[in-house]
Amino acid sequence: MDKILEGLVSSSHPLPLKRVIVRRVVESAETPLSQAQCRAMFALSTRLVLQGPDPFQRQVGRQVLEAYGRYHRDEFEAFFNRGLVLGLLQRGYGELSNRDPAILDYIQAGLRLIMSCPSVLELFELLQVEALRLVCERPAPPLCARLCQLLGDFPQCLPRGRKLSLAFCQQLVRSIAHFQSQGTREAELRLYVSQVTQVSGLLRSVWKAEPDTLLPSLQELFAIISAADTSFEPSVALASLVQHIPLQMITVLIRSLTTDPNVKDASMTQALCRMIDWLSWPLAQHVETWVIALLKGLASVQKFTILIDVTLLKIELVFNRLWFPLVRPGALAVLSHMLLSFQHSPEAFHLIVPHVVSLVHSFKRDGLPSSTAFLMQLTELIHCMMYHYSGFPELYEPILEAIKDMPKPTEEKIKLILNQSAWTSQSSSLPSCLSRLSGKSETGKTGLINLGNTCYMNSVIQALFMATDFRRHVLSLNLNGCNSLMRKLQHLFAFLAHTQREAYAPRLFFEASRPPWFTPRSQQDCSEYLRFLLDRLHEEERTLKALSSLKASENIMNEESQTQEADHKAQVFAPCTESEERTLIEKMFGGKLRTTICCLNCKSMSQKEEAFTDLSLAFCPPTSLENVGPKCMESSEVKDDCMVQTNTLANSPAGETFLSNLEVNGGCDAIVNEGPIKDFSTEPNSENTTNAELDKIQDNSGMSQRLVDKNTLSVTDLLNYFLAPEILSGDNKYYCEKCASLQNAEKTMQIIEEPEYLILTLLRFSYDPKCHIRRKILDNVSLPLVLELPVKRTTSPLAVDPGSWSAGVEICDIGENLAKKLKPSGADEVTCPQLVPYTLSSVVVHSGVSSESGHYYSYARNVTGSGPSALCHQSTALSLVSPQDKLLTEESPCTVVENELDMEMPREWFLFNDSRVTFTSFQSVQKITSRFPKDTAYVLFYKKQNSTCGFNTNSANGLWVNGDPPLQKDLMDAITKDNKLYLQEQELSARTQALQAASASCSFRPNGFDDNDPPGSCGPTGGGGGGGFSTVGRLVF
């Protein structure tokens, strides 16, 4: 019979005929056969099953083996013995390898036939040993899955005893770690996933039957994923085991892992990274639960270094998993936790920002309900992150446009989500990180690294650097051998102009320029810092000049030598030839303000002139501008609850200058500016002058009508309000020396000398007496690109003593008596009103809701006295005039049409945000508060046009780069040395990147933004899924 069958299956007869004959052969199995005939049939069928060249022959072999084995069980028991099975498992069958799954198929079929025979017990014992041996040899997924199927159908073949069972589980875990998919097509991926599922299912059965094997198996799993061996990367198929770990064990296991002193940080980092990689495994359940639990566990024991490293390494991978429906729910859950807990720096969020818009557009086009649900969750997450890391409009505007149609969570919900997700308050102790090593941006500008809440300094320095004339004066100074603050500023400016680094760390300048009362690593007021910085530079130069004069007087014996030395030092801070006695700060930022007080009873007047470096503009209450008629002071409203500050360079009786502040506070107690400013004054009487509760008159009915008609104030309105007359009445009456009593009086302020750079500070922080905090005024203010400053130039033959108040004068006096009485105040001077055009140069923006928190960044552009921005267009809308100059407004010679001007230089504006520098536009500057309500213009720099104090860029001193003067040799050498060091760092980084293992300490992963406190300051759930395997073509491995 065996010969007939063998000849039949190998013949060329038609297949239907062969099937008929095979069926008759199978039916004949019921007839009695000799032992030799049975053995021959078993050998033939075995050969057909294992070595059949085609599916038909293999099928015939299985049919014949099953039929003859069932009817001739004793003969088959003798044939299917220990020797046959052991030979198949160890040596294979003929040319068939012992690692071919067909071997296990044959053994499983044989076991079914002899299950009732006594010899099966011997085979079970043999298979227990062989199964352990087989998994130790790291079988491929097909063989391992087939073995697990056999062991699942015949659990008697599983290794017995705690030791062998435990070893089998551990080795099976290691075998899974070596799994790799052999194809990329959908059918191949589906088969691979099913094979892995078969293996993990067997482990689940073993763990359930023998619970003692679970914990050692998990320890083996952790050992695999925490290994630092770079030559072996464990398979993501290990993710299939996670769903079989009881969730009740999470708390115990995570606590054990995070507190075990034997688990090094590098091992934990590696393990966590690989667990996050498991998010790519389709159909795996609870992976995100375990990842989030481990992240929370590490935060609870304050292992922030691991959290920072892992987040920055894996955040982009997690985000990319959102593209794949099968793994999207888990990926979104992990992404949300990682971003919301990473609150000390925006770096992690900014890594995914460039990819958000394309993902949003993709799922909008998809239109599926699952995609819509996912988009709502993602939008909520994005809004939370943009709220927490406000101050990056150049990054967020495209995202806002993409998600404008999606629901926006309330501010209360955002705050609740952020508060629940934070790591701990210990985040403030994290070390600062530097900027990422990369070349300069396309702008060619250099950022400033945040040294820990130093954005207030960075924004001011960038604004001063972009003040072109000031920068050129500083760079042109000959300061060799001088260790002054100006020298350090020159060093900083030189590096900003010439370094190849993307961002520079201004550590030395920060330590030298930080006011003593500023707490390190805490947020500060950038306006206060700017005043202190200018004051220090001004006083330093005066001191140097005084020392130069003293040394010259003591060197009488060497008159020629002492004259040359004195001249040299006098010139150190004064590269311009005119106004030799003025300091550089006075030349660039100094102006003069004249204050006049007129007694309304006797009409006598007194005047005082003061120097200033910036004007602080209070916000005018809307009611103060209603019902105002021309020259109708009695019916005008009063200004209350507003404060006006003027940072002044006041002249002392000795003729020297110092920095102080003139403050006018209406409607509340007198407020004196922070004392440390005046501590640098050299005169005992250089104290802050304060007038309490000054009522402002608005005489410009046109301006009041504009404010009534529109909601947005402009800088024009605030400056007009600053220059408007005030009535001193009630508790604020003026003491008139002539009347010898308190009288109602009118106070006016006029600018009599304009600065080269006009600095305007918008007083956005007002003191709340109820809460004892400084609240922020979030009103939007329109910024004119070009404004005209009303300057009351005076020509007088009479010498006026600036800083002293004049004697009272009656208006009714005439003739010589009037001239004599007006002599001290210069009241007979010929007033020559002039509108001086200024162009916007820089805007420092504060992002936040209080002065003690938030973030600063700045917009700036290069503006010179004769640049393209000096072009003017006839208009009257933006003129800045005091009420008494209203007639001059009708013939304003130079104002600007902003849109036309900005279109001429579309890439002239830059956004300086700590380490980041990008191109922007004036439209972005104007719309910043309307798009981001917490981001408001705070300090403005305006450059006077048609100035005669600029540099000649054709200087004979050498080649000028971008109009800047050539650097001193020591500066250039320092920059060259640092640029070489930078290139070495880049090379070293490239060489070690491939070999770098996870470090136990915070690896050098620079961070351009590391403000930590408080939340919201600069520092510090699944969506819709796929429909099953119909989308398996988008699996991720």
Active-site positions?
A: 455, 855
| DSSP E strand stretches across 863-934 | 909-913, 916-920
Q: How far apart are CA 500 and CA 441, in angstroms?
A: 10
Phi, psi of 689 (to 5 degrees): -90, 125
Q: How far apart are CA 562 and CA 555, in angstroms?
A: 6
Secondary structure string (H, E, C) spanning 636-671:
CCCCCCEEEEEEEEEECCCCCEEEEEEEEEECCCCC
CB-based contact 46:92 (threshold 8 Å): no
CA atoms 721, 723, 725, 726: torsion sign: positive
| Residues 160, 164, 167, 171, Cα dihedral to 10° | -60
CB-based contact 951:473 (threshold 8 Å): yes
| Distance set, CA 656 to CA 20, 202, 650, 816 (Å) | 122, 91, 8, 33
Burial of residue 986 (CB within 10 Å: 0-12, 13-18, 19+) is: middle
CB-based contact 611:649 (threshold 8 Å): yes
Q: How far apart are CA 58 and CA 52, in angstroms?
A: 5
Could you count the other beta carbons within 10 Å of the beta carbon of residue 260?
12
Work out the end-to-end distance of the chain between its first and last CA atoms, rounded to an integer number of angstroms. 52
Q: How far apart are CA 1036 and CA 29, in angstroms?
A: 51
Q: How far apart are CA 688 and CA 681, in angstroms?
A: 11
Report DSSP letters for 742-759, one per residue.
Answer: EE-EEEEEEEEE--SEEE
Question: Is the bond into 1014 cis (omega within 30 degrees of 0)?
Answer: yes
Residue 403, helix vs strand vs coil: coil
Residue 795, helix vs strand vs coil: strand
Q: How far apart are CA 917 and CA 909, in angstroms?
A: 10
CB-based contact 939:460 (threshold 8 Å): yes
Question: Is the bond into 769 cis (omega within 30 degrees of 0)?
Answer: no
Q: How far apart are CA 374 and CA 421, in angstroms?
A: 20
Query: What token pair was written down for 242?
Result: 């996670």
DSSP 249: G
CA atoms 907, 911, 914, 915: torsion sign: negative
Among residues 148, 198, 197, 141, the alpha carbon closest in space to that of 168 is found at 148
Q: How far apart are CA 362 and CA 369, in angstroms?
A: 14
Length of the chain: 1037
Query: What token pair was written down for 727?
Result: 């009535």
Pairing outcome for strands 614-617 and 642-651: antiparallel
CB-based contact 969:280 (threshold 8 Å): no
CA atoms 310, 316, 319, 325: torsion sign: negative
Phi, psi of 967 (to 5 degrees): -80, 155
Q: How far apart are CA 941 and CA 860, in angstroms?
A: 9
The answer for 348, left when phi > 0, alpha when psi is -120 to 50, beta otherwise, is alpha
Could you count the other beta carbons within 10 Å of the beta carbon of residue 1020?
25
